[in-house]
Amino acid sequence: MMNKLKTGTDRGLLLVLSGPSGVGKGTICTALRQKSPHLVYSVSATTRSPRQGEADGVNYFFKSRDQFESMIQNNDLLEWAEYVGNYYGTPRSFVEETLAQGRDIILEIEVQGALKVKQSFPEGVFIFIMPPSLEELRQRIENRGTESLESISQRLSVAREEISLLAHYDYAVVNDEVSLACERIQAIITAEHCKQERIYPTLLHGLEEVK
């Protein structure tokens, strides 16, 4: 009997979503998980305080500064960065195990962290989430009701610097409407799975098995 040809690689996709604070990365990831439940969401670690409604182990692993620095020393993080006075990082083992299982995983991280991940996983898919405008970004941050005027000004200044790094990413998705942004990202995922360099190795192996 002829063996069925495989049409994909055994390894999952590492999808890295980042962009300025307040651009809606978390909202997009939540919507993506509802539309594509097979996607795995990597929970980051941070030293910032939980916002209202956030839960440890669900939104973030909330760590003390000493705990986080211990993780850095033990090389337990795929990447880490300090952003506006707080540490953020991605636990290494969970990401590596998920990819090895052939499952796609999404990292929602800050721009500094994304660039560090690119050094370790250049084969990853790097997506920059853009605001429709900086004025719209300001309004979104203000609507949170959790930031001081000084903090808002600081975040907008950082956002300008981060947008200037767009050339380091594979794709840019404008978050003008969450549902549309999700559709664009889903299209990117489909296209990435169809790239010849991802398909060809297993396809060639399947052809060799056909006698």
What are the pLDDT digits (tens) for 82-98?
A: 888 999 888 887 888 88
On average, the pLDDT of the chain sits at: 86
Dihedral pair phi/psi, residue 128, rounded to 5°: -100, 125
- 159 vs 17, residue with greater confidence: 17
Cα–Cα dist 152/145, whole Å = 10
Measuring CA to CA, which residue among 23, 67, 28, 24 is closest to residue 45?
A: 67
Beta carbons of 43 and 92 less than 8 angstroms apart: no
3-state secondary structure of 146: coil
Digit-coded pLDDT (tens) for 120-143: 788 899 999 999 888 888 888 877
Residue 91 is which amino acid?
P
Confidence of residue 4 (pLDDT cuts 50, 70, 90): very low
In this predicted structure, the answer to whether residue 210 has a pLDDT above a threshold of 70 is no
Beta carbons of 14 and 100 less than 8 angstroms apart: no
**What is the rounded average pLDDT of the residues 63-90?**
91
Confidence of residue 44 (pLDDT cuts 50, 70, 90): confident
Cα–Cα dist 94/101, whole Å = 11
pLDDT of residue 94: 81
pLDDT of residue 29: 92
Cα–Cα dist 183/194, whole Å = 17
Digit-coded pLDDT (tens) for 140-192: 887 776 778 888 888 888 889 999 999 999 999 999 999 999 999 999 999 99
In this predicted structure, the answer to whether residue 69 has a pLDDT above a threshold of 60 is yes
Bridge partners of 127?
17, 171
3-state secondary structure of 52: coil
Strands (E), the chain: 14-18, 40-42, 44-46, 60-62, 77-83, 86-91, 105-108, 125-130, 171-174
What DSSP character marks residue 147?
A: -
**11: buried, middle or exposed (CB in 10 Å: 19+, 13-18, 0-12)?**
middle
Structure tokens at 5: 């040809």
Is the pTM higher than 0.85? The answer reads no
- 54 vs 145, residue with greater confidence: 54
How far from each other are the two terminal CA atoms of the chain, in whole angstroms?
Answer: 9
CATH class of the 14-42+104-209 domain in this structure: alpha beta
Cα–Cα dist 22/40, whole Å = 22
Confidence of residue 3 (pLDDT cuts 50, 70, 90): very low
